[in-house]
Structure 1
Amino acid sequence: MTTILRNARLVIGRRILEDAWVSVSEHRIEAYGTGPKTEGVDLRGRLLAPGFIDMHVHGALGYSFGDADPAGISAIVNHHRLHGTTTLLAGIGTDLLPQMSSAAANVAAASLENLAGVFYEGPFLSVERKGAHDPNELRRPDSAELRTLIEAGAGETKLMTIAPELPGGIDAIRQIRASGTVAAVGHTDADYDVTKAAFDAGATVATHLFNGMRPIHHRDPGVIVAAMEDERVTCELITDGFHLDDAMIGYVFRAVGAHRVALITDAIEATGVGDGIYHRGTTTTVVSEGLAMLEDGSSIAGSTLTMERAVQRTVRNGGVNIVDAITSATATPARTLGIDNHAGHIAPGYLANLVLLNDDVSIEAVMSQGSWVSGRWLTQTTQP
């Protein structure tokens, strides 16, 4: 069965093809082109883009990847998929080592089509830049513990954040990379020189740039400048209006380019639920008007963002053009994670993960591996 999607504005690389069509066979893209088609689903000039990829998400609908059962894991993935995220990493935050390992094993065992693997945010982070992480569970890198965490993912550990200034931090980055896992720098008090050493050791991601690190100072440029000037490094941004001033969004895109910006959500279990009080281990988070804060008000505690909203705000509030915003939600994270041979682009042979957007940058439909999972287009039929 071949599905033809016609009369679309198609995001291909860094350009938009007008009057375009895509054919989908089974769960993959078969071909695309331009020109009129009479058969298939009429997309009525809407923008058709690759499905979004979220490298950094912790939860939704009251569930957290750190302690969710199989039903909870599925609920998180499905919620974010409805908002355009067709590929995500399950973020596991700082906790007791056995709990983190167990959570990773549960994620790996879930084997969901939209779940690309495990992301560890902790426990080898800086107490000084802990954010919402429990300082009692933060620790120095240990080779055996690191190996335990990586192996708990059963081959699905894809990304790990570390503070490189900790004793053994640079060696830990080398160990992470040697395992085939992407290493990130974050929740760190590292200075410029240590950060450069971390990148030279193999780290290629700056976890939620600006947050959980030293601010820029003209005599202490720190992680931010080191990351932005290094072409090897992908800079994560949380564009929810709380983590960053909107002016910083456009600034980073202009400074490093969309090919080095990865939009993320850092979404917690409150996402899709609403304001209220949430408990994670020893941590209590209060969500008010969408802003998640620790109970004592000392730190932001993740977000209630979706990738749909992240892309919207990047365009509307950050002044970034739609193609660049989509690139930072698709091609950039795909390349960063090494999955750009099957995800992050609309191309023959790639997974048929697609989002349909209107002029307001709102999602009208989502296709996951060739099947519509949301949208009024579900009722339309196609020709074999």
Structure 2
Amino acid sequence: MNSTYRQVVQGRLHTGLAEHSDGILATESGHISYAGPREHFDPEGWPSAEVLDAGEVLVPGFVDAHCHGAFGADFSSSAEEPVRRALARLHERGTTTVLASLVTARRENMLRAASLFGALADEGTVAGIHLEGPFLSSARCGAQDPQWLSEPDIGLTAELIEASGGSVRVMTFAPELPGADALIQFLTSHGVVPSVGHTDADAHTTETSLAYARKLMLTSENEPKTPTVTHLFNGMPAIHHRSPGPAAACLRSAVRGEAIVELIADTLHVDPYMVAAVFELVGADNVALVTDSMAAAGLEDGTYQLGPAEVDVNGAAATLRSSGVLAGGTGFMQDLVRGCVAAGVPFGDAVRSATVVPARVCGLSHRVGRLAPGREADAVVLDRDLQVAGVLRRGAWIA
């Protein structure tokens, strides 16, 4: 279907902020003209529009703010064509907005990948770039290659931003490293969201760093205004009552609305009980569901790449061949929403954390993440089992 068609989709509708049991989504030329209850929609202005059924429920297109690849393509190392094919298939799975995550690697490789995804961002295929490193803790590097980790380097950061054409939107860093505050200053001045992660910091250092980032973001002319936490609980010490560590500090910051925590709600990275607990503690507005998916997502068990590392996939678990460490996800955003609901998270909260919140993280709330007039016509039809049954991207049905 061509995106210039005028369409009216009717049925149960969740805009990302509110649900309408008898709703209408009207789109024209790739954008939303109306999204809300049927009773407030004037059908007389749409006599030539094609009328479609929303199925079980229609929600905004999913926004994944932490994705390393899928369908055999590794965003840090694969060539352009496999990357394009993978992104097209991710769009078909309902993730209509993707932030491409790059792992720590050799400088030249990171610059190459930044250049590739900068070009893809310019054309709208991806929403931008998330740099997961290289300024991370060697003690909590997880699947990151420790030989390429370093202390914060403003020169390298500037090179990566320049190579991307200004498309870097988020950067993960360990706040205990020397030069972390200077890095936060540089990132916020360039509109890049500082994200605490892969850290061995204590609670005080973590909380102070997030507060500093928040202060600079609030006084900056750039958007967005809230720092994030890279995959909460993963890549950091566990909470202990005599050594609370970074996770406890991140939760307290999120409760105050001073941080947004990423959550890989795939039952492997975070137990379903803890997923429900985080939503109850900090609220859906402060949780961004992320897949942290890698090249193996959507494929059978086997050995795949995550940057320079080899990863073995068995079932849904992806682990480093060299150490057995858990190394990224293999699921999709629909799986996370379904997992949250199964854990007891209200459906509307799960949807919000898969759409509205990550769009805010990416600085794209004015374009995606909600079904609202003026936004891009990105929507996902979910069936009774919360599986993707149809995908609308920029006004065109692609799956």
TM-score, with structure 2 as normaliser:
0.90
CA deviations on 1:239-298 (whole Å, 9 max, x unpaired) are: 111111111110000000110110000110111122101244642211101210011444
Q: Which residue of 2 aligns with 1:132?
A: 143
Q: Which of structure 1's runs of 4+ aligned residues deviate more than 4 A?
A: 36-39
Aligned amino acid, residue 110 of structure 2: M
The question of whether the paired residues in 2 share the 8 Å contact of 1:307 and 1:329 is answered with yes
Mark the CA change 1:123 to 1:25 in structure 2 (over 3 Å): closer, same or farther: same
Aligned residues: 373
Q: Distance in 2 between matches of 1:33 and 1:293?
A: 44
Q: Distance in 2 between matches of 1:13 and 1:133?
A: 34
SS of corresponding position for 2:139:
coil
CA deviations on 1:71-128 (whole Å, 9 max, x unpaired) are: 1221221121111101111111000111101101011112443410011001110000
Q: Which residue of 2 aligns with 1:95?
A: 105
Mark the CA change 1:346 to 1:280 in structure 2 (over 3 Å): closer, same or farther: closer
Q: Distance in 1 between matches of 2:116 and 2:128?
A: 11
Q: Which residue of 1 aligns with 2:300?
A: 274
CA deviations on 1:181-216 (whole Å, 9 max, x unpaired) are: 111000000111111121122161010000001111
SS of corresponding position for 1:128:
helix
Alpha-carbon distance, 1:303 to partner: 1.0
Q: Could you tell me which of 213, 233, 242 is aligned with 1:202?
A: 213
Q: Note the aligned Cα RMSD (angstroms).
A: 1.7
Q: Which residue of 2 aligns with 1:82?
A: 92
SS of corresponding position for 1:241:
coil
TM-score, with structure 1 as normaliser:
0.93
Q: Which residue of 2 aligns with 1:7?
A: 10
Q: Could you tell me which of 296, 299, 310 is aligned with 1:284?
A: 310
Alpha-carbon distance, 1:2 to partner: 4.6
Aligned amino acid, residue 250 of structure 2: A
Query: Which blocks of at least 5 consecutive residues in structure 2 are unaligned?
Result: 215-226
SS of corresponding position for 1:315:
helix
The question of whether the paired residues in 2 share the 8 Å contact of 1:73 and 1:107 is answered with no
The question of whether the paired residues in 1 share the 8 Å contact of 2:295 and 2:305 is answered with no
Mark the CA change 1:20 to 1:275 in structure 2 (over 3 Å): closer, same or farther: same
SS of corresponding position for 2:7:
strand
Mark the CA change 1:88 to 1:57 in structure 2 (over 3 Å): closer, same or farther: same
Matched, 1:251 2:274: no
Query: Percent identity over the alignment?
Result: 37
Q: Which residue of 2 aligns with 1:309?
A: 335
Mark the CA change 1:44 to 1:74 in structure 2 (over 3 Å): closer, same or farther: closer
Q: Distance in 2 between matches of 1:250 and 1:308?
A: 17
Alpha-carbon distance, 1:315 to partner: 1.0
Alpha-carbon distance, 1:4 to partner: 2.9
Q: Which residue of 1 aligns with 2:69?
A: 59
The question of whether the paired residues in 2 share the 8 Å contact of 1:24 and 1:31 is answered with yes
Q: Distance in 2 between matches of 1:286 and 1:45?
A: 37
Pairwise mapping of residues 225-240 of structure 1 onto structure 2 (< 5 A)?
225-230=248-253, 231-240=257-266
Aligned amino acid, residue 275 of structure 1: D
